[in-house]
Structure 1
Amino acid sequence: MAGKNRFMASLLALLDDDKFMRDVVSKPCSATEQVNVRCYLNLVEKILSQAIAIVDDVAKNTPPKGDQCQSKSSTSLSLEPSLPLSSTINELCYQITCKARNNDVYQTMASLFNMLSSFSWDAKAVLTLLALSVYYAEHWRLAQIEESDDLLSLTAMLRGSHAIGKSSDTQRIKAFVALNNLIKLALEFTKCAVEFVSYSKDFGEISASVDISGHFYYIIVIILGCSVQFSGLISMSNEFLGQDLWTFLERVTTKYESFKKEVENLREKHVEQISYQKIKKLFKHCTDIVELMAALFCTKNDFSTVYQCCKRTTVTVEKFKDKNVMLLISDLNLSVEDLGTLTSIYSECNFQCSKYKIMWVPIVEEHNEVMQKKFLDRRSEMRWYTSNSMVSKPAAKFIRKKWQFRQQTKVVVLNKQGKVVNMDAMAMIRLWGKEAFPFTMSKGKELWNRQGINWLKLVVNNMVFPDVEQSQFEREELIFLYGSADDLQTVQKLKNT
């Protein structure tokens, strides 16, 4: 027992040995052996799912399920003969079991990585986990048969193995359960790392900050620990009953949970990227405003609905069918003036009778409870439509890039086919109000070309200095416009003149 405990103590020390890890991972990885990592990982999952279920039944003292005792698996697997299966797996199994018993942990790890030098890092971990899966599953499968097969029971005794499937040793069963949990964790850790590799191609800058080879190294340490503990537990010599198992499990769980968050972050970005590309593609080929509105403002949880503010209820996006849509794009600090102008336009009878709809598009950097409350408060002041929640990150990214939204409130006008007829109608709405209807660029040109426009009155009264009284223009008074944030002294002199 002491020898096995020394091995586990060394394995725990290896988790903190950054120098050894750096020495291992810094060696060039030739990756000359091509491996279908996903295929092998699926195989690992199929094998372990059945073996893990057997252990769970043993722990609960329940009979094994029928599908676990079938002589043939109901799942057919197609493996290319050129893939390194039998010889590599057999050698790896020997490395992590028999050879590990006779070497110290550093020798074993060095031997493993020397053998796997021609494989990529994800292949190293997956193939080593597959070797453990075969070893683990074979013993548990035989354990189920041994219960009713005297010959297998006799040969198991001669091999020095316990009849592990019917063990009444409470301490041993608890150790098996803990080991089972550790193997589950090794599988999840490997799946996370392989998933990370698939994302790293699209998110190079983010993934570069993560030492993925170090994580694969860590997984192989876990796999070796699982193998050593299992070989000790099934030995009749009682070499190891899991005294160090709980410490090891706690340590690697902490490492896994930390890495899992990084993978979840990339997974979220990956999903957002896919959604963003779908929106871009749809916008390019869009022929129906409803399709575009659903893609931009309806998440999978919205069931293709938007929020109708005046009725305080959700409605289907089909409400926009054959309609022109004015997208009011802003952050949550939409000005009272802009809100009032648009409300007056919306209330006009001509607008109500027209085939025009207004949709508020709230865009924020962070989605949190504070912003959500502010969004709901602002929404309660409106009468038109908006999204059920703040605009999703993919949609916000599209709006920022395609329609140049930079926090300044703007109105993008879309026709019935979802095509842009005015990239920013907000300026003309502020200047002309309801006269800007139907808010197209051609209408804007028409307004600017009208005869008799008092340019000073138009600009000053609405945009620069709204407090100027109408009577001042009628009296044809001389109006001075002055001001400077950088030269207050000059401004003061003008006031005193």
Structure 2
Amino acid sequence: MALVPYNKAVNPTSRGAGHNRPPLLKQGRDGHRQFSTTADDSALVNQIMLTDKSHDHPYEVPPLAVTQILQTIEAILSRVTKPDIHDGILVPGALVPAATHAEHEKALHANLSTLHDSVDVPHSVFNAIHSASNNTNMPILLIDGKQLMCTFAQGEDANKTTMDILDIVQHYDWDEKAVLALGAFAIKDGEFWLVSQQYTTNPLARAVGQLKQLQEILERAGTILKPKFDAYNNLVGAIFKVTKTIVRLQEIHNDPHLSPEIKATAATAQIPTAVYWTIRAIVVAASQLVGITSSEPEYMTEAWELSSLAHKLENIFKHLEEILDGLYQLIQKNKEEEAFNAIARILETPHMDNSKPLRVLFYKDDQPALYDGYNKKRVDIDVLKRKVVILFITDLNVVHENENTIVQQMYLEKGHNPTRPESQYEVVWVPITDEWTEAKYQQFESLRNSMQWYTVFHPSVVSPIVVRYIRDPRKWNFAKKPLLVVMDPQGKIVHQNAVHMMCIWGSIAFPFTSQRERLLWEEETWRIELLADAIHPNLTTWITEGKYICLYGGEDIEWIRKFTKAARNVASDAGIQLEMLYVGRSKAKENVMNNIIKIIQAEKLSHTLDWNLIWFFWIRLESMWQSKGQLLSEQGKTQSRTDPLKSDPMMQGIISLLSFGSSDRGWAVISLGSAAMSKANGEHMLKSLSEFNDWKNRSSEVGFTPALNEHLEGVHKQAPHHCTSLILPATGIMPETVACAECGRVMERFSMFRCCLD
């Protein structure tokens, strides 16, 4: 390697002699910036590509530590691109506001502290690049016998120098080419500013600065050359941003863990042109640095030219950044999908115990994730190990939900009998909301402190991926209506919403699995015990004593008076014992129900339920609709000949009662124990009872309720018209058609929105 003077003219046959103009960025139809595709641009792209031999690595070209080198470059450029003007003199890094200076210094030291002690760099390549980009009046460098022309970096000369540098780095990947060129520039840039910064404090720097006439250079750069220096500084910043983006795109393209679909989106076809422009800008910046640091300002490029080139690089950066942002979103989406699938696998398969699934659901920095509502302290999930766990998933309006009352009743019963097998479960409240605010956090803490069961200690223990799993329609499908998801002792989800079976059967439904729910329905028939359960303290006694039981409702007090009087008279005439119980109507207003209850009790018309039990009676009936309906829907998928929803007697009975409860008109159901029921709307039932003499003899022959059903059938046929409605909850199953409980015809379907406050 030797330095020799060089005065030879440019060879017209060399690459630089016939270069076409560089490609520009243009606006595409879709609004995105695109590299132009003119014939000249295509020719230049082809020439750029011809310089690349990165796939033909010679043995002596080792892989480059791109990230480490770029980090070092950033440390250099961040140090020298924060200058200030003081008394007309350019002072790099000095006299900035105290707060800004401290912040910059802190960030800089943090950056420097992460640098490696040593970085392997190809110094010969750096030297060759320096030589290629030097001024024509400077000597050239001989490397391995190869002469590199030193030309003033402007116009076609800048283009040729760029191609020469691409030749020098031909065996490196495209991101490495840009980093090597920028590294070579950063050395020269950093050397000058290092002396400038140490000029007033370091004797050695002062001596070097005097020989370089640094005082005059800084004075000139801070006054008459300031616009050019500012443009130079902006250009250097744009160069670094584009280089960093190219490196990030190449890293994605080279990542062996990413799918081919993601790599195909990395737009690597546009990287070579971006590298060309980056290196060309480096060549121009290097020329500008020579102009700034020498006594020959004629070598400097005009400020507007530098700004134009910086603008071009900014456009390239924005275009590549858009691609990069899209890639990161795609990568993040893939990571989330992988995490989602991992969660699904863990939650949907059995384990030795439930520890692993619970830690997937609840985790926060190895800290106890749960809160014991009874003992008011933070606890680890180990308290739930090998237990049936009920995940009570709600929003923050939980206190107003029916499900909260059901959980309270279940937990109260569990507390009264803690040792029995049916009590061996725990409840964990999991709040889910769209966006957590400070007010919502406070609301959460207030609700958490009011609960007796376990809750999450803080909403953050439930990760966004777990929340997504909980909301996913293919999984737990949480929207707004609370869920009671059941996990067995082995960590398997055995029911995605056990609230309905709990509401119907209470602790009898333990361990709250879908299989247990199916078995309970198989054991049931449409009988008064299922319908009324133990909603009245004397109900079981009445059934044991063989009494007829009549459940009735509605809001028409005149009909109630007429019906109860007629029912007592018929019971006396038929020689049967009859107990009547008023159960109101569905979705009733509390004040209306309480007024009717007071009248019934004052006039001793019948037994009544309290308001809270009236509410529970109808909620439980809706749970029957949901639970039984879900089971029948699953059966219907394998039994295509018939619709179980239309043929199942229990489902038809449930629909009839819900239809009655959807109206304010009267209605009644009469039954003897587990025998068949008689049911009808208030008008038909009152008419049939009033005509008891017409079917009295038949009653003696076949029994009271069979004879009443026969007579009701005739009344139905003779009735000129009827209007029956059925109000169903919007959640859960929703059949396409429902048959009328009175005539069997398909009912019309409407949507209803209701806001009803007492």
TM-score by length of 2: 0.47
**1:414 equivalent in alignment to 2:447:** no
* Matches of 2:471 and 2:622, distance apart in 1: 30
Give the 3-state SS of the residue equivalent to 2:119 in structure 1. coil
2:427 to 343, 358, 362: 358
When the two chains are superposed, the root-mean-square deviation of aligned CA atoms in Å is 5.6
**1:434 equivalent in alignment to 2:507:** yes
**1:222 equivalent in alignment to 2:248:** no
CA gap 1:33/1:152 in 2 versus in 1, 3 angstroms: farther
* Matches of 2:194 and 2:444, distance apart in 1: 63
* Matches of 1:352 and 1:183, distance apart in 2: 74
* Matches of 1:39 and 1:285, distance apart in 2: 46
**1:296 equivalent in alignment to 2:361:** yes
Give the aligned partner of residue 348 of structure 1: 413
Give the 3-state SS of the residue equivalent to 2:92 in structure 1. helix
CA gap 1:347/1:184 in 2 versus in 1, 3 angstroms: farther
Q: Please give the per-residue CA displacement for 1:4-36, whole angstroms capped at 9, x wherever unaligned.
A: xxxxxx87x734452267773997988524698
**Does the Cα contact within 8 Å between 1:183 and 1:226 map onto a contact in 2?**
yes
Give the aligned partner of residue 629 of structure 2: none
Give the aligned partner of residue 477 of structure 1: 678
**1:77 equivalent in alignment to 2:77:** no
* Matches of 1:240 and 1:375, distance apart in 2: 62
Give the 3-state SS of the residue equivalent to 1:432 in structure 2. helix
**Does the Cα contact within 8 Å between 2:133 and 2:287 map onto a contact in 1?**
no
Compute the displacement of 1:124 (Å): 0.4
* Matches of 2:250 and 2:370, distance apart in 1: 38
Give the aligned partner of residue 82 of structure 1: none
Compute the displacement of 1:294 (Å): 3.7
Using CA pairs under 8 Å that are at least 6 residues apart, name the structure with larger relative contact order, 1 or 2: 1
Q: Please give the per-residue CA displacement for 1:65-120, whole angstroms capped at 9, x wherever unaligned.
A: 9x9xxxxx9713357xxxxx45655555666665654626666666766777776x
Give the aligned partner of residue 392 of structure 1: 463
Q: Please give the per-residue CA displacement for 1:201-223, whole angstroms capped at 9, x wherever unaligned.
A: 63655665563443564355234
Give the aligned partner of residue 336 of structure 2: 272
* Matches of 2:371 and 2:62, distance apart in 1: 47
Give the aligned partner of residue 70 of structure 1: none
Alignment of 1:193-212 (within 5 A): 193-197=249-253, 202=258, 205=261, 208=264, 211-212=267-268
* Matches of 1:19 and 1:413, distance apart in 2: 61
**Does the Cα contact within 8 Å between 2:169 and 2:177 map onto a contact in 1?**
no
**1:326 equivalent in alignment to 2:359:** no
Give the aligned partner of residue 156 of structure 2: 103
Unpaired segments ≥5 residues, structure 2 = 1-20, 27-34, 84-90, 96-104, 110-114, 135-149, 532-619, 626-654, 662-666, 681-712, 714-723, 727-734, 748-758
**1:130 equivalent in alignment to 2:180:** yes
Q: Which amino acid aligns with 2:411?
A: Y
Give the aligned partner of residue 14 of structure 1: 24
* Matches of 2:623 and 2:345, distance apart in 1: 39
Alignment of 1:88-167 (within 5 A): 98=150, 100-101=153-154, 103=156, 123-141=173-191, 144=194, 148=204, 163=214, 167=218
CA gap 1:358/1:253 in 2 versus in 1, 3 angstroms: farther
Give the aligned partner of residue 60 of structure 1: 93
* Matches of 1:345 and 1:442, distance apart in 2: 20
Q: Please give the per-residue CA displacement for 1:32-56, whole angstroms capped at 9, x wherever unaligned.
A: 2469877222222124414542554
Q: Please give the per-residue CA displacement for 1:303-355, whole angstroms capped at 9, x wherever unaligned.
A: 553577899x9944447443432124578999944444334323434489455
Q: Which amino acid aligns with 1:46?
A: T
Structure 1 range deviating more: 250-259 or 43-52: 250-259
**Does the Cα contact within 8 Å between 1:140 and 1:164 map onto a contact in 2?**
no
Larger helix percent: 1
CA gap 1:474/1:201 in 2 versus in 1, 3 angstroms: same
2:476 to 399, 405, 421: 405
**Does the Cα contact within 8 Å between 2:133 and 2:161 map onto a contact in 1?**
yes
- Of structures 1 and 2, the larger Rg is shown by 2
* Matches of 1:438 and 1:186, distance apart in 2: 61
Give the aligned partner of residue 262 of structure 1: 326
**Does the Cα contact within 8 Å between 2:77 and 2:190 map onto a contact in 1?**
yes
**Does the Cα contact within 8 Å between 1:413 and 1:423 map onto a contact in 2?**
yes
Q: Which amino acid aligns with 2:24?
A: L
Structure 1 range deviating more: 189-198 or 327-336: 327-336
Identity over the aligned pairs, expressed in percent?
A: 17
Give the aligned partner of residue 6 of structure 1: none
2:624 to 440, 463, 469: 463
Compute the displacement of 1:441 (Å): 5.2
CA gap 1:264/1:389 in 2 versus in 1, 3 angstroms: same
* Matches of 2:260 and 2:442, distance apart in 1: 34
Give the 3-state SS of the residue equivalent to 1:348 in structure 2. helix
Give the 3-state SS of the residue equivalent to 1:133 in structure 2. helix
Give the 3-state SS of the residue equivalent to 1:474 in structure 2. strand
**Does the Cα contact within 8 Å between 1:164 and 1:234 map onto a contact in 2?**
no
**Does the Cα contact within 8 Å between 1:362 and 1:391 map onto a contact in 2?**
no
**What is the number of residues matched between the two proteins?**
460
* Matches of 1:287 and 1:340, distance apart in 2: 33
Compute the displacement of 1:234 (Å): 2.3
Give the 3-state SS of the residue equivalent to 2:179 in structure 1. helix
Q: Which amino acid aligns with 2:389?
A: V
**Does the Cα contact within 8 Å between 2:340 and 2:466 map onto a contact in 1?**
yes
* Matches of 1:395 and 1:472, distance apart in 2: 46
Q: Which amino acid aligns with 1:436?
A: A
Structure 1 range deviating more: 175-184 or 145-154: 145-154
* Matches of 1:75 and 1:472, distance apart in 2: 88
* Matches of 1:282 and 1:486, distance apart in 2: 38
* Matches of 1:131 and 1:270, distance apart in 2: 35
Q: Please give the per-residue CA displacement for 1:232-258, whole angstroms capped at 9, x wherever unaligned.
A: 222333213644445554664564464
* Matches of 1:309 and 1:487, distance apart in 2: 44
Give the 3-state SS of the residue equivalent to 2:512 in structure 1. coil
* Matches of 1:278 and 1:165, distance apart in 2: 66
* Matches of 1:473 and 1:292, distance apart in 2: 49
**Does the Cα contact within 8 Å between 1:200 and 1:207 map onto a contact in 2?**
no
Compute the displacement of 1:388 (Å): 0.5
* Matches of 1:138 and 1:341, distance apart in 2: 76
Give the 3-state SS of the residue equivalent to 2:427 in structure 1. strand
